[in-house]
Structure 1
Amino acid sequence: MSDIAPSIDGEARPSSGSSAKVAEFRSHWRALLAVVIGLSTGAASTLGYSHGALIGPLEAEYGWSRSYLSLGITAFGLAVLLGGARWGALSDRFGARRVAVLSLLVYGTLLASAPDLIHLLPFWLIYFITSIAGTGATAAALTKPINDNFFAARGIALGVAFAGIGLGAFWVPLATQWLIEQGGWRFAYHALGAMSFAAAPIVWFLLGPSADAAATPAVTHAGKDELDGLTLHQAARTRTFWLLIILGTALTLGIVGMTSHLIPLFHHAGASPARAVAIASILGLASMAARLLVGFALDRARGPIIAVLVPIVASAGILLLLPGPVTAPFAVLLIGLAFGSEIDMIAYFTSRYFGHREFGAIYGWMFGVFGISGGCASYLSGAIFDHFGSYHLAILACVSLTALAALLATRLGPYRFETRHTVSH
């Protein structure tokens, strides 16, 4: 297994200073806003972050165990694994605009129908079908407009885009709890599905044809094709590809194993449902800030250094969950500073190590692996609680995984595609 390092001789290298970054944001702010809205109302947000608040009502009504309920998130992860690369490849071919809007429409309809389907199908199967439809409005497809249109400011642009998921981590738990209090858990599903459906035309309007490289290339490249890079098969033959997957998997297992159970964890420790949700909502705000910070840093520092620091911060936050409610807000703050950054970093690294030729397929495949990893982490944490009546062992396992991720990050090498493109105005 050997790294493929294509030649970049003769490429244009215009300045990537602040003026170039400002020009990119001025030209493509609508596409960036569309991605933020899509990610904050898509499956990763409305399905993933509503789950913790819905566990209690579903457990009370049907008597299901937490491990069984966690299978919903596992099913989401499996759907992302099976569909991520395919949705990514579709965005490479048809553009993220069509893919994301279609996904939001079908996903929103299915999520709103979940309470009616729950009497016909197993809980995990409903989540699996809904997630398959919703994966087209996740990072698997929606990172493509960012990587196609931002070059000098790609890191910060990805940070802003992924802040959409952080925004979802903030508003979705609070909204879900409020909706449950107003009309019950069925009403919460109906309302969340309607929000995703309503976001589709907004994303269609903002993510115009000019934002899709598949429709109108937004970059020029001296002497080379604007989609220079490796194919999925070429990337899969490199050491870096598998190192990124193992690193991202370990970090995802460690972080999601805790974040998916924060609300029931705090409730079990004695917090009221409202206080548990309030503490957990810190995760979203911290994640939004961290994604901007990480994106800013990726444009200015060596990425592997950032990849070491993020899991170290996550490890510290997870350890602070052990003392209980006293340190809970600080724990969630630190976890939030790392939460989701692995997805941001891997998206950035994918473009820098493998180029743009099949970015959607390569990143979609990686995103799928991380999705099933997060789903398995949620189930395992729930199973550990069911068996031991405590989350302590799960906390220790998650710390070990994030520490492993920090160690693996030290093995990342230099970028293969550090080219700077010129922006067409």
Structure 2
Amino acid sequence: MTKRQNWAWAVAAVAFVALIGAAGFRATPGALIEPLRAEFGWSTATVGFAVSVNLLLYGLTAPFAAALMERFGVRRVVACALTVVAIGSGLTVFMTTSWQLVLLWGVLVGLGTGSMALAFVATITGRWFVKHRGLVTGVLTAGGATGQLVFLPIMASMAETSGWRSAALLVSAAALATVPLVLLFLREYPVDLGATPYGGDAIVPRPTVTSGAARRAVTALTTAARTGPFWFLAGGFAICGATTNGLVGTHFIPAAHDHGMPTTTAAGLLALVGVFDIVGTIFSGWLTDRVDSRILLAAYYALRGASLLLLPQLFHASVHPSMLVFIVFYGLDWVATVPPTVALCREVFGLSAPVVFGWVFASHQIGAAIAATAAGLVRDSFGNYAPAWYVAGFLSIGAAVLSMRVRRSPALAGGAEQAPGDLTPQGARG
């Protein structure tokens, strides 16, 4: 293995740090719902709507960001995205009305974090790795969980001791601090260094991008949308987003607070989800290199559904052992779905997988956005979150069924890849 080929690990390390820097805001909403309600008198649904706008744009930006990375380069897009996150989070300290919350939390931070979404992970692993793709996908995906782990307890503690504005400024500073690292060390393609992808046998030339970023993203969607596998993957991932970022990530802390649990304790539990998420996602990546991805997805979704159906009975004013069991289990499962989903996109859509996965991820965030607002409305209407947990549990079981219906590409057996610029799904070829 040459030193130049080992650059793949350096690029992956910088991407991991960048994902942590962007993850600060992902930990913010759940920890700040109660402080914002207390200061401004906003309802849970109002704050939940701002989070929904953020989640929606976070997802819809992803496929265009993947295409922009192909057109203008990963380094430029990621540096700009981190700067936008810093600006959006920093300006929240001046807001006084709910529309400003929607503009800053929802629009600006949504666009910035969307450009740092999982399509970025698919781009890095697709360009730089042949061997250990699944494992590296798991490690990079865990970067978001690590950010949650690092920031969430700090966010909750600062919100209680120094006020929520200091927490927002910390997120802004973390995102800005990551920009120089990205500009200095992130590289675009192995061929730029005269190297092969890690585990590859030959230098891969840069693909020729023949259309604009927006056109390529839309073309990828219209082509993929004509196939069944795309809709099964998108439907399952929409439920994934609804049951993680939209519901648990946004509403677990206020739900626990409804049962008398202190906010900092609930934030600590959610951070613990992040600890086990790292383990679960990396292990899922390792399994993805060895096990049928459809089976993995079905198992993850079915087990998640069972755990959510039990969750309403686990909330208490203090932390009981049963809740700790849920936290450990849910953490292992949190984004374990990402490596097999990326793998299935690659198997079906070849070199177009990063852009197509961007659209699949958009469905993830649409589901998350709907859940964030819907759960807030449930809380305001019924006085508790129980109906939301039950619906999420049954939806997860449905996602398991959708996952098993994804047909793997016949080209997979021959190890075929698509030519650059060819957006025809491998499984759809005649």
Q: TM-score, normalised by structure 2?
A: 0.85
Q: Secondary structure at the match of 1:50?
A: helix
Alignment-mate amino acid for residue 317 of structure 1: S
- Decide whether the 8 Å contact of 1:384 with 1:391 is kept in 2: yes
- Tell me the distance in 1 between the aligned counterparts of 2:381 and 2:97: 28
Structure 2 SS opposite 1:64: coil
Pair 1:111 & 2:89 matched = yes
Q: 1:135 aligns with which of 114, 126, 131?
A: 114
Q: Distance in 1 between matches of 2:4 and 2:27?
A: 32
In 2, distance between residues paired with 1:391 and 1:25?
A: 50
Does the Cα contact within 8 Å between 2:277 and 2:331 map onto a contact in 1? Answer: yes
Q: Which amino acid is the alignment partner of residue 408 of structure 2?
A: P
CA distance 1:401–1:106, change in 2 (3 Å): same
Q: Tell me: CA distance 1:182–1:202, structure 2 relative to 1, closer, same or farther (3 Å).
A: farther
The code of the aligned residue for 1:287 comes to D
Q: In structure 1, what is the Cα distance between the partners aligned to 2:28 and 2:167?
A: 9
CA contact (8 A) 1:71 1:124 kept: yes
Answer 1 or 2: higher relative contact order, Cα 8 Å, separation at least 6: 1
1:411 is matched with which residue: 385, 405, 413?
405
Which structure 1 residue ranges, 4+ long, deviate > 3 Å from structure 2? 22-27, 117-122, 213-228, 415-418
Give deviations 1:284-328, integer Å, cap 9, x for gaps.
011111100110000011111111111122123213312223322
1:176 aligns with 2:151: no
Which one of 332, 338, 351 corresponds to residue 333 of structure 2?
338
Quote the Cα distance in structure 1 between the aligned partners of 2:131 and 2:410: 16
How big is the shift at 1:267? 1.3
Q: Which one has the bigger helix percentage?
A: 2
Q: Aligned with 1:261: secondary structure? A: helix
How far residue 337 of structure 1 moved from its aligned partner, in angstroms, is 1.6
Pick closer, same or farther for the CA change 1:145–1:399 going to 2, 3 Å.
same
Question: Kindly, what percent of the aligned residue pairs are identical?
Answer: 22
For 1:279 and 1:133, locate their aligned partners in 2 and report how far apart those are by CA, in whole Å.
27
- Residues 416, 126 of structure 1: alpha-carbon distance in 2 compared, 3 angstrom cutoff: farther
Q: Is the 8 A contact 1:109 1:194 kept in 2?
A: no
Q: Deviations over 1:202-248 (max 9, x none)?
A: 1222313455x7997844788997769x9614323211111111111
For the residues of structure 2 that align with 1:238 and 1:217, how far apart are their CA atoms? 35
Is 1:144 the counterpart of 2:144? The answer is no
Alpha carbons 1:39, 1:165 under 8 Å: kept: yes
1:51 to partner: Cα distance:
0.7
Q: CA 1:77 to 1:214, structure 2 compared with 1: closer, same or farther past 3 Å?
A: farther
Confirm or deny that 1:354 pairs with 2:349: yes
Please show how residues 25-424 of structure 1 align to structure 2 within 5 Å. Answer: 26-42=6-22, 45-119=23-97, 121-127=99-105, 128-210=107-189, 218-219=196-197, 232=220, 233-256=222-245, 257-323=247-313, 324-325=315-316, 326=320, 327-356=322-351, 358-415=352-409, 418=412, 419=415
C-alpha spacing 1:25/1:353, structure 2 compared with 1 (3 Å): farther
Once residues 117 and 304 of structure 2 are traced to their aligned partners in structure 1, the CA distance between those partners, rounded to angstroms, is 23
Aligned-partner residue type, residue 397 of structure 2: A
Please tell me whether the aligned partners of residues 53 and 177 of structure 1 are also in contact (alpha carbons under 8 angstroms): yes
Q: What is the number of equivalent residue pairs in this alignment? A: 397
Report the AA paired with residue 180 of structure 1.
A
CA distance in structure 2 between the partners assigned to 1:97 and 1:188 by the alignment? 27
CA apart distance, 1:392: 0.9
State how far apart, in whole Å, the 2-side matches of 1:80 and 1:275 are. Answer: 28
Identify which range, 412-421 or 264-273, moves more after superposition.
Answer: 412-421
What is the TM-score normalised by the length of structure 1?
A: 0.86
Structure 1 letter corresponding to 2:118? A
The answer for the alignment partner of 1:9 in structure 2 is none
Cα distance in 2 between the residues matched to 1:210 and 1:54: 40
Structure 2 portions without partners, runs of 5+: 209-215, 418-430
| Long gaps (5+) in structure 1 | 1-19
Distance change in 2, residues 1:59/1:241 (3 Å)? same
Look up the SS of the partner of 1:322 in the other structure. Answer: helix
Q: Partner of 2:423 in structure 1? A: none
Q: Is the 8 A contact 1:255 1:314 kept in 2?
A: no
Contact 1:290 1:341 in 2 (8 A): yes
Q: Per the alignment, in what secondary structure is the counterpart of residue 278 of structure 1?
A: helix
C-alpha change, 1:224 and 1:53, in structure 2 (3 Å) is closer
CA separation of 1:154 and 1:133: change in aligned 2, threshold 3 A: same
Q: CA separation in 2, counterparts of 1:25 and 1:151? A: 11
Distance (Å, rounded) in 2 between the aligned partners of 1:61 and 1:321: 30
Q: Is the 8 A contact 1:79 1:132 kept in 2?
A: yes
Q: CA separation in 1, counterparts of 2:195 and 2:401? A: 38
1:253 & 1:119 partners in 2: Cα distance?
27
Q: CA deviation at 1:93?
A: 1.6
CA contact (8 A) 2:46 2:98 kept: no
CA RMSD of aligned residues (A): 2.8
SS in 2 for 1:264: helix
